[in-house]
Amino acid sequence: MSFASLGLAPALLRALDEQGYSSPTPIQAAAIPPALEGHDLLAGAQTGTGKTAAFALPLLQRLYVDHAAPAAPKRPRALVLTPTRELAAQIHANVRDYGKHVRVRATTIFGGVGMQPQVDALRRGVEILIATPGRLIDHIGQRSVDLSHVEVLVLDEADRMLDMGFLPALKRILGHLPRQNRITWLFSATFATEIKALASQFMREPIEIQIAKPNSVAATVTHRVHPVDGARKRDLLLHLLEGDASQTLVFGRTKHGADKLAKMLDKAGLRAAAIHGNKSQNQRTRALADFKSGKINVLVATDIAARGLDIDQLPRVINHDLPMVAEDYVHRIGRTGRAGAQGLAISLVCHEEEGLLRDIRRLLKQDIEIAPVAGFEPAQPLRTDDGARARPQQKPQQKPQQHKPRQNAAPPRHGHAGKTAAPAKSASRKRRRRGGGQRSTQPA
Ligand code: AMP
């Protein structure tokens, strides 16, 4: 199938050609024709499926080709709501790329940066406004934007906006949009009941499109769990990163934890940075750019900050901690194994996280290989799916691999504040006491 057969205008086809896109992805093929016809859409698609172009292309066609009319100051003709700043910036960049030959006037509005440049951009007039809900409410409050002329509303990653507690903000924003003659396109990785409720309240007979099965991950991703004691996770992470220099996105559960991890890795001589909600927009943009250009090799992120990071062909994701919600595992892993490339998803799992691991397995409906790493076996092995413990190792244990700090590196620290590194000896003592250990594999 070609983009031309979807009914897109030549100016957009040219831009797509320049982007090197030869054919539409499934979500684009399914969403673009009904979107061009002006239907409401309820589209189930995850990040990495090409969903941004699926709404950006029909949006550009409607605003700049089919019903071209410059927007009045402060009165955007289209509103794209998205949960994070990174996603907003990413959508803006894509809109600019795809709309290269139609003179797009678009702007982004998100928190963490000054209001005034946003106010100025709105006053100059934009057709497309890409915003996170919180900051948009601020602009509505100070009347720097008037949403009464919005023709198209896009709700991107609607499930995540609800997870992040944006429902009241969304409802307030929706109250400022015209009720009649508005087209709504809602994109969501999952269709939880709340999403359906939102859709039924604010949409007109939407066409439902479901591309990937909900909560499915690419078949090209290998999942692997390294069981480890919580206190030794950092050492194991360092060991894995030192053993394989491929670009890696590391997930931590908290902002503070992500910061500590990035600092620890940096001190150990690995080029690492953290990206999370407490970082300024400049810091986040720089960290992402450095990671994309290869200036840094390891990016430590929290779930929310990682939403919408568009990093092509990322070979490896490491979960230093399992996410509290199993669906977030799918989002994390969505960064690797894209577009048919091979990907590796490693999770460092301690005994306390067994329940979270079980939830993830249930969601994925697949088993995950449990591969203890020599020298890092936990005192208490993880339960496998059938409730049995991982098979104990019969052969004598290899010499445990202990992280050797590099020159100028800080001594390794552990998950629990104040504790110092467990010496290699204590790990082997533990194994002897258990009369063996788990089957060990070398880290990938
Ligand atoms: P998204 O799901 O919108 O975040 O897109 C994921 C990645 O796929 C981005 O890097 C896009 O530039 C890329 N992409 C989107 N559509 C196509 C296409 N039709 N052909 C090739 N790459 C695409």
Are residue 281 and residue 184 in the same domain, yes or no?
no
41 alpha carbon – ligand 1 mean position (Å): 19
Torsional sign, CA 197, 201, 203, 205: positive
Give the model confidence (pLDDT) of 275-315 as tens digits.
876 667 677 778 888 888 888 889 998 876 666 566 666 78
Are residue 115 and residue 41 in the same domain, yes or no?
yes
Q: How many CA atoms lie within 13 A of 149 on its CB side?
A: 17
339 alpha carbon – ligand 1 mean position (Å): 9
Query: Is residue 444 in a domain?
Result: no
Out of 52, 59, 157, 185, mutate this one to test ligand 1's pocket (max ligand atoms within 8 Å of CB): namely 52
Tell me, what DSSP letter sits at residue 373?
Answer: B
Could you say which of 185, 210, 235 is where a domain stops? 210
Per-residue pLDDT at 299: 92
Are residue 281 and residue 316 in the same domain, yes or no?
yes
Are residue 138 and residue 30 in the same domain, yes or no?
yes
Domain around 170: 4-210
48 alpha carbon – ligand 1 mean position (Å): 6
Query: Is residue 23 in a domain?
Result: yes
Are residue 323 and residue 363 in the same domain, yes or no?
yes
Could you say which of 189, 210, 231 is where a domain stops? 210
Are residue 69 and residue 175 in the same domain, yes or no?
yes
DSSP 3-state of 130: strand
Query: Is residue 132 in a domain?
Result: yes
Are residue 206 and residue 225 in the same domain, yes or no?
no
96 alpha carbon – ligand 1 mean position (Å): 14
Are residue 252 and residue 333 in the same domain, yes or no?
yes
User: What tokens appear for 238 in the block?
Assistant: 């360092």
Give the chain's domain count. Answer: 2
Are residue 177 and residue 301 in the same domain, yes or no?
no
The order of strands in the sheet holding 369-370 is 272-275, 298-301, 248-251, 316-319, 343-349, 221-227, 369-370
- Single pTM value for the model: 0.59
Query: Is residue 380 in a domain?
Result: no
Are residue 198 and residue 243 in the same domain, yes or no?
no
Ligand 1 contacts CB of residue 310 (under 6 A): yes
397 alpha carbon – ligand 1 mean position (Å): 47
Tell me, what DSSP letter sits at residue 260?
Answer: H
Could you say which of 158, 184, 210 is where a domain stops? 210
Tens digit of each residue's pLDDT, the chain (444 residues): 789 999 999 999 999 999 888 888 889 999 999 999 999 999 988 777 789 999 999 999 999 988 889 999 999 999 999 999 989 999 999 999 999 999 899 999 999 999 999 999 999 999 999 999 999 999 999 999 999 999 999 999 999 899 889 999 999 999 999 988 899 999 998 888 888 888 888 899 999 998 755 455 666 788 999 999 999 999 999 999 988 877 899 999 888 888 899 999 989 988 898 887 666 767 777 888 888 888 888 999 887 666 656 666 678 899 999 988 787 888 788 777 655 567 889 999 999 999 899 988 888 887 788 999 999 999 888 876 544 344 443 333 333 333 333 333 333 333 332 232 333 333 333 333 333 333 333 332
Residue 75, domain CATH: 3.40.50.300
Atom of ligand 1 nearest to the CA of 45: 2
**Burial of 10 by CB count in 10 Å (0-12 exposed, 13-18 middle, 19+ buried)?**
exposed
Are residue 183 and residue 274 in the same domain, yes or no?
no
Give the model confidence (pLDDT) of 234-282 as tens digits.
999 999 998 887 789 999 988 888 889 999 998 998 889 888 766 676 7
Whole-number average pLDDT of the chain: 81
Ligand 1 contacts CB of residue 25 (under 6 A): yes
Distance from chain centroid for Cα 282: 19
Tell me, what DSSP letter sits at residue 419?
Answer: P
